[in-house]
Structure 1
Amino acid sequence: MVPQALHALPSRDDETRGLWLGLLGVAIFALTLPMTRMAVGPAEAPQLPPLFVTAGRAGFAGLLSIVYLLAVRAPRPRRTQLAAFIVSALGTVVGFPLFLALALRHVDAMHAAVVTGLLPLATAVAAAQWLRQRPSAGFWVCAVAGCALVVAFALLRGSGRLSLADALLLGAVASAAVGYVAGARLAAQMPAEQVICWVLVLSLPLTLPVTLLAWPVAPVRAISWGAFAYVALFSMWLGFFAWYRGLALGGTVRVSQVQLVQPFLSLLAAVPLLGEHLDAATVAFSLAVIATVFLGKKMPTHRSNRIQRTGERP
C-alpha cells in the first residue's frame, strides 16, 4: 500500500525546504562526475579500477553508516520495506556508479554531464508511475523543455551518434532514477538519513568483498585517492542525507527537477578540477535550463484520481 505521507501534497513551507535541501544534495552530487573521472583516470592513463570505485565508495560509506545507525539507535527495517531497499541499492549503489565509472574512462566529465542531464525527467517519470503523483501539463512542459535543452547541448557538442560510453551513461541515468524513487518512498516512512544508511549497510555483503577483490595493485596518484574519498563520503553518503530529505519534504516529482542544474554545476566544477574548457554556449544553456526549473516550481502537482476517490491508507 502507498504510505499516507505520499498521498498529501506538501505544504508551501515543506516544499521550499525540500527544494533547498534538494539543491544542496545536487550541489554535492555535481562534483561526482569530475571526481569520478579523477578517480578512475582516462583510458590512456588509468588510475583506480571502475569496479573498485563502485564497490569501495559504497563499502566505506556502509561502514560509516553502521556507526551512525548505532549512534541514533535506528530501528531495523520492516520486512515489507526490503523490496524498496533492494531496488534503491541496485540503482544507487550498483547501477549508477558502475555505469558512470566505466563511461568516464572514455569520455570527459563535461560530456557525461550533458548526457546525465536527462536524469530529472527520468526520475519524474519513475516517480509519477510508482508514487502515483500527477504533475500538471505545465509542469511536464517545463520538465521536457529543460531536458530538450540538455539534449540540444549534447548534440551541439557531440558527434550526433551514441557511443558505448553514451549508452553506459544512459544506463546510469535509468538506474539512478529508479533508485531515487525507491529511496524517496522509504524516506516517507523513516528519517531520510537512515534510508541511505540502511541501503549501504544491506549492501555490505556485496560491496566489501568486491572492494577487496578489486583493490588496485598498480600505483595510484594521491589526487585519485582524494577523489575516491570524496565520492565515498559525500556522493555516496552525506549527499543522500540532504537529497532524500528534500524529496520527502517537497515531493519527488517537483524536487527532482532541481537536478536540471546539476549537469551545469558539474561543467563548472570540471574547469578548475580537470582543466576542461567552458565557453559562452555552455553558460547560455545553463541559464536557460535554470529558468525552466523556476517555471516548473510554479506549476501544480495533483494526487492521482484513485487516491482522491478511495482515500487509501497503509
Structure 2
Amino acid sequence: MPAGVTLGALGVLGFSYSLPATRLAVAGLDPWFVAFGRAFGAALLAIGYLVLSRAPLPTLAQVRRLVVVAVGIVIGFPLLTSLALTTQTSAHGAVVIAVLPMSTAIWAVLRASERPPLAFWLSSGAGLLAVLAFVATGGGFSGSLSVADLYLLVAVVLCGLGYAEGGALSRELGGARTVCWALVVSLPVTVPVSLYTADFSRATGVVWFSFAYVTVISMFLGFFAWYAGLAAGGVAKIGQIQLAQPVLTLMWSFLVLGEPVGWPALATAAVVVVCVVLTQRSRVVTPTTVAAGQPVR
C-alpha cells in the first residue's frame, strides 16, 4: 500500500472520533472553549515538538500560507462544528464529513494546482452520493435546514481550504511542522478566547477525556499523518479517503453515544471502499509530477 494512502487512512481513523468527542465535550464545556482551548493545548505540544526537532522558522511567504491553514483547520472547522454540536447529534454531523472530500478536491484544484481526471470526479461523486443517501435515509440527517446546518456547511468549506493549503505546504515543511506552525500562528487568537471562555463548573471526567482527545488526536497527532499523506499522495486523491469517515463516525456514535446504526452502514461502507479504491487508481496531476516531466492525462 502506498505511503500516502497509509498515512491518510491513519489520519482519517483519528479524525473519525472527533465529532462524538466534540459532542461529549460541549456537554460540559463552552463550545468556544472546546474549539479554541483544544487549539491552545495542541499549540503547547506543537511548541515542544518544534523545539525538540530544531525546526527552522518558516519564511514570510510560508507564514501567510500558514494563516490560511489556521483559519481552516485550527479556528474555522473546530469552532463551527462545536457550535453546531450543541444542538445536533454527532450522527447529524456526519453530513459534514460526507461533503468534505469533495470540498478538499475543489480546493486542491484552486490552491494546490492539482488536476484530477474525469474518472476521479466520477468516483468521488459516486462515493459522495452514497454517503449522503445513507445519512439522509438512516444515518442521522433529518429535519429542515437549521442554523446548525449552516455552521456545518461553512465548516466544510473552511476545512477543505485548510486541508488543501496545508497539504500543499507540507511538501515544503513536512506534515508535522505544517500543523505545528499553524497552531503557533493561531496563538494570538486562541489564548485570549480560551481564557475568556474557560468555565469548568460542569466538566466531568468524560468531558475532560473527550476534550483531551480532540486536543491531542484531532488537533495535533492526527494531522501529522494526514498532512504527510496529502503531501505524499496528492491533496485531491488522498482527501477522498475521508469518504470512509462518516461511516466510521456513525459507528463511534453507536458504540459511545448509543445512536442506532444498522445494516445500511455496512452497505454504504462497501460502496465507499470501492469508490475510494477507484479514486486512488486515478492519476491526479500535481505540481510535483508535472515538474518531473510525467505526462498529463
TM bin, normalised by shorter chain, reads over 0.9
Listed as ranges, the matches of 1:39-78 within 5 Å are 39-41=25-27, 47-78=28-59
**Are 1:115 and 1:154, in contact at CA under 8 Å, matched by a contact in 2?**
no
Tell me whether 1:34 sits opposite 2:39 in the alignment. Answer: no
Match for residue 150 of structure 1?
131
Listed as ranges, the matches of 1:1-16 within 5 Å are 16=2
2:20 and 2:74 mapped to 1: Cα distance? 18
1:116 Cα offset (Å): 2.4
Identity of aligned residues (%): 41
**Are 2:167 and 2:231, in contact at CA under 8 Å, matched by a contact in 1?**
yes
Match for residue 99 of structure 2?
118
1:277 and 1:292 mapped to 2: Cα distance? 25
Tell me whether 1:134 sits opposite 2:115 in the alignment. Answer: yes
* Structure 1 residue ranges without an equivalent (≥5): 1-12, 42-46
**Are 2:4 and 2:228, in contact at CA under 8 Å, matched by a contact in 1?**
yes
2:65 and 2:227 mapped to 1: Cα distance? 14
Amino acid at match of 1:77: P
Match for residue 210 of structure 2?
227
1:203 and 1:302 mapped to 2: Cα distance? 32
* Structure 2 residue ranges without an equivalent (≥5): none
**Are 1:55 and 1:210, in contact at CA under 8 Å, matched by a contact in 2?**
yes
1:156 and 1:102 mapped to 2: Cα distance? 24
The count of residues paired between Structure 1 and Structure 2 equals: 289
1:167 Cα offset (Å): 1.4
**Are 2:97 and 2:243, in contact at CA under 8 Å, matched by a contact in 1?**
no
1:175 and 1:228 mapped to 2: Cα distance? 22
2:74 and 2:21 mapped to 1: Cα distance? 17
| Cα 1:79/1:127, change in 2 over 3 Å | same
**Are 1:22 and 1:258, in contact at CA under 8 Å, matched by a contact in 2?**
yes
2:207 and 2:125 mapped to 1: Cα distance? 36
Tell me whether 1:168 sits opposite 2:151 in the alignment. Answer: yes
Q: Deviations over 1:264-283 (max 9, x none)?
A: 11111111211111111122
| Cα 1:112/1:186, change in 2 over 3 Å | same
1:217 Cα offset (Å): 4.7
**Are 1:51 and 1:214, in contact at CA under 8 Å, matched by a contact in 2?**
yes
Length-normalised TM-score, structure 2: 0.93
2:129 and 2:202 mapped to 1: Cα distance? 42
1:83 Cα offset (Å): 1.6
Q: Deviations over 1:56-81 (max 9, x none)?
A: 00001101111111111100010111
Partner of 1:134, secondary structure, is: coil
**Are 1:116 and 1:169, in contact at CA under 8 Å, matched by a contact in 2?**
no
1:192 and 1:111 mapped to 2: Cα distance? 30
**Are 1:115 and 1:151, in contact at CA under 8 Å, matched by a contact in 2?**
no
RMSD between aligned residues: 1.7
Aligned partner of 1:216 among 190, 199, 217: 199
Aligned partner of 2:86 among 105, 124, 137: 105
Aligned partner of 2:8 among 22, 35, 46: 22
**Are 1:257 and 1:293, in contact at CA under 8 Å, matched by a contact in 2?**
yes
Q: Deviations over 1:155-202 (max 9, x none)?
A: 324336322211111111111100111111210111211111111111
Match for residue 254 of structure 1?
237
**Are 1:62 and 1:197, in contact at CA under 8 Å, matched by a contact in 2?**
yes
1:188 and 1:179 mapped to 2: Cα distance? 14
2:172 and 2:8 mapped to 1: Cα distance? 18
2:83 and 2:222 mapped to 1: Cα distance? 22
2:16 and 2:155 mapped to 1: Cα distance? 14
Tell me whether 1:94 sits opposite 2:79 in the alignment. Answer: no
Amino acid at match of 1:216: D
2:105 and 2:134 mapped to 1: Cα distance? 21
